[in-house]
Amino acid sequence: MEAQRNKITDIAIIEELKKNSRISYNKIAEKFSVTEATVRKRVKKLINKGVIRKFTIDVDPRKIGFKIEAMIGFDIKEEYYTSTLLELKNLPEVISLTTSTGDHMVMIEAWFHDLEELNEFEQKLSKLPGIFNICPAIMVEKLK
């Protein structure tokens, strides 16, 4: 029963931290009728187990001058796969880089000031070794 209660507490803590990574442990403790020490210990265990990998922020790109948010899918030839992924990680335009199944082997989230920047980035991608089948999609509205 204790393990089940800890799992519920862990999930509740994670959900609160996902909503606001700056929330105090006291506020989480109050919400779920546990002590601050319980929350602090559970978070420490979640970090040590690798469940919580990092605390981060959610940025509104438009408020810092980026008018275009894009998801860009593409494929990479097998012989270039690892080296090209390493190169992509270092591109400043890349907000997130994910390997995937489905229509594309790789998905990138990137922000741009205008369409010209997006087009220039597509050209940059097309020049990287092994990249082909580039398919950008401009995000219209992020719902969650």
Domain CATH code at residue 11:
1.10.10.10
Residues 43 and 84 reside in one and the same domain:
no
How far apart are alpha carbons 133 and 100 in whole angstroms? Answer: 14
Tell me, what's the pLDDT at 3?
A: 59
Domain membership of residue 53 (yes or no) is: no
Tell me, what's the pLDDT at 78?
A: 96
Q: Give CA torsion, residues 123, 127, 130, 135, to 10 deg.
A: 0
In degrees and rounded to multiples of 5, residue 133 shows phi and psi of 60, 50
Domain membership of residue 144 (yes or no) is: no
- What's the number of domains the chain is made of? 2
Tell me, what's the pLDDT at 65?
A: 95
Residues 41 and 87 reside in one and the same domain:
no
Domain membership of residue 6 (yes or no) is: yes
Report whether 106 contacts 100 (CB < 8 A): yes
Predicted model pTM: 0.77
Residue span of the structural domain in which 43 resides? 2-48
Edge-first strand order for the sheet with 68-76 is 94-99, 106-112, 68-76, 131-138
Residues 83 and 117 reside in one and the same domain:
yes
Q: What is the pLDDT along the chain (144 residues), one digit of tens a residue?
A: 455 566 668 999 999 999 999 999 999 999 988 899 999 999 999 999 999 999 988 889 999 999 999 999 999 999 999 999 999 999 999 999 999 998 999 999 999 999 999 999 999 999 999 999 999 999 998 888
Domain membership of residue 101 (yes or no) is: yes
| CATH code for the domain in which residue 118 is found | 3.30.70.920
